[in-house]
Amino acid sequence: MKYIVIVKPKKAILDPQGKAIKKVAENYLQSEIKDIRVGKYFEIEIEKEDDGLINKLAKNILSNDVIEDYEVRKA
């Protein structure tokens, strides 16, 4: 069973990486970009379906729940 976990900075949190990439992108494209937010993307394959296991992994290992939100989906 394949799961996808997406980890993103919480909305209220400043995203310096996103700001830096936004500047580079605007220079490169010569076009205005309203916002870029950068997160992490995980593809996790386990033997059989276990939503609880993947949520536990996402919450405690893959993300820092003080500054990040996470989302779990089945691929």
Q: How many CB atoms lie within 10 A of CB 42?
A: 17
What whole-number distance in Å separates Cα of residue 7 and Cα of residue 10? Answer: 9
The residue length of the chain stands at 75
CB of 31 to a copy of itself, least distance (A): 6
What are the backbone dihedrals phi and psi of residue 58, each rounded to the nearest 5 degrees, phi first? Answer: -65, -45
Structure tokens at 31: 């076009």
Task: Give yes or no for residue 72 binding a copy of itself (CB under 8 A).
Answer: no
Binding mask 35-54 for a copy of itself (x = CB under 8 A): xxxxxxxxxxxxx--x--x-
| Shortest distance (Å) from residue 16 CB to a copy of itself | 15
Residues that bind a copy of itself (CB under 8 A): 6-8, 21, 24-25, 28-29, 31-47, 50, 53, 56-57, 60-62
